[in-house]
Structure 1
Amino acid sequence: MQSLPKTLAEDVAKNLVMVARLIDEDPEGAYGYSKVALRLASRVAAVREAAGFAAYANQKYGEALAEFRAARRMTGTVDLWPVMADCERGLGRPEKALDMAGAPEVHKLDKAGQVEMRLVAAGARRDMGQLDAAIVTLQSPELASNSVQPWTARLRYAYADALLAAGREREAREWFAKAVEADRDGSTDASDRLAELDGVEFVDALSEDAEDTEDGADAAGESAEAAPEDGDKD
């Protein structure tokens, strides 16, 4: 944003900060801030990228794809290639996502980007009902590695979920457990899925206590109503 006047750059930056701050917990709010940033500086690549992610978070895949394409034209980088392919999935075009997964741009991605592309390709296979192909797509050195990387939990989770969808429950349980081991920041619900497979039910202790309190109050009330008045003893 160095090309913008100082005051304008500050206003744009404030809106981008709000997009980043809200995008997970309040995607609609983030989207609103992204539209303000776009009005102020639509020729800035960072603004187009932020607008793309805000639209993506709100499942506005056509709009997100347009913004990502604009950002890519401005920067010339391929970093957004996987999320662009996922937008194609969101638009109901899994075949297009698979075409992108086989494009030369994928070889220019870093390791994290290549893993993300593999996840998108597997998702596209599942969209097309090709469960076995989705499982094979996820089988990779990154999946087999014992080292934990930022993408490990999500990769293991996707593999477990694909196995479960294919009816391979025992293997799915094993990989959900491996996903739990790698999920240090709770980015997946692997622990819940594992518990579900093991038949474990979680009870909300607060709700249970509240019910017990209400039951106790009702019982006390019934006892009070049943007790005779002092004047009725004779």
Structure 2
Amino acid sequence: MPIPEDVTGDEIDKDVRQELQSLPKTLAEDVARNLVMAGRLIDEDPEGAYGYAKVALRLASRVAAVREAAGFAAYANQKYEEALGEFRTARRMTGNVELWPVMADCERGRGRPEKALEMAGAPEVHKLDKAGQVEMRLVAAGARRDMGQLDAAIVTLQSPELASNSVQPWTARLRYAYADALLAAGRQGEAREWFAKAVEADRDGSTDASDRLAELDGVEFVDALDESDSENERGHDNERGSEATPATAADDDRDKDNGTD
């Protein structure tokens, strides 16, 4: 797959670069450049990211960082079985537990929310950092919702991290998930309150909390371009109407001649 010349491979995380030092220099550079492309595209073009990740995997399948990148690329494309396999391999190679929440979410994607809940109660969760534990809580709540257990999902999200007024990297997503669960349970007033709190914490636009809040408030957004097109269309309609008047009058005359009203 083509890679822009300005992508050198030096853009990757230093820890990943260190892992790649086990490879011959030229090969390491090729793998790094493909990983950079995968990282750049994973949000806007998941299929493209998947393609670059697969190239990196073919070149360096014994590097844990490559396995992890391939897992996230597969995950972004909803290839949950494949993603889980890559994450498991990466975990075996490193012994790290940080992938545990996303592995549990892959189980949800495979239609196995019960397995995700089982993982949420596993000893590995206690080894996660705070961000990982919050992520695990989000996955567990999602699994509860998958099983139709809305009240349990709401209770799962209730935590010191949710109640805290401090804004952390996970705060917006946690508040958003709580608001969404409340709304699904028919608790619209509380949902609105928490969507508003999510907006306050969402400094980088990681959620659509502002849109959800506006929707609850009955606010409709009109695209300026669409509005302009509509005005132009109305103008064309008026022109067509003026041009059609003589024909309409002639039709009226024919109707009179035929004895019709």
* TM-aligned CA deviation for residue 226 of structure 1: 5.5
Match in the other structure for 1:207: 226
**Matched residues in 2 for 1:82 and 1:211: separation?**
47
Runs of 4+ in 1 over 2 A off after TM superposition: 220-227
Match in the other structure for 2:210: 191
Q: How does 1:1-234 map to 2 (within 5 A)?
A: 1-223=20-242
SS in 1 for 2:98: coil
Give the RMSD, CA atoms, in angstroms: 1.2
Count of aligned positions: 227
| Structure 2 alignment gaps of length 5 or more | 1-19, 247-261
Instruction: Read off the aligned partner of 2:189 and give its amino acid letter.
Output: R
Q: Deviations over 1:199-230 (max 9, x none)?
A: 11111222111111221233235436669xxx
* TM-aligned CA deviation for residue 195 of structure 1: 1.0
**Matched residues in 1 for 2:150 and 2:234: separation?**
49
**Matched residues in 1 for 2:168 and 2:198: separation?**
12
**Matched residues in 2 for 1:45 and 1:31: separation?**
17
Percent of aligned pairs with the same residue?
87
**Matched residues in 2 for 1:225 and 1:66: separation?**
67
* TM-aligned CA deviation for residue 20 of structure 1: 0.2
SS in 1 for 2:96: coil
Instruction: Read off the aligned partner of 2:33 and give its amino acid letter.
Output: K
| Structure 1 alignment gaps of length 5 or more | 228-234
**Matched residues in 2 for 1:142 and 1:160: separation?**
14
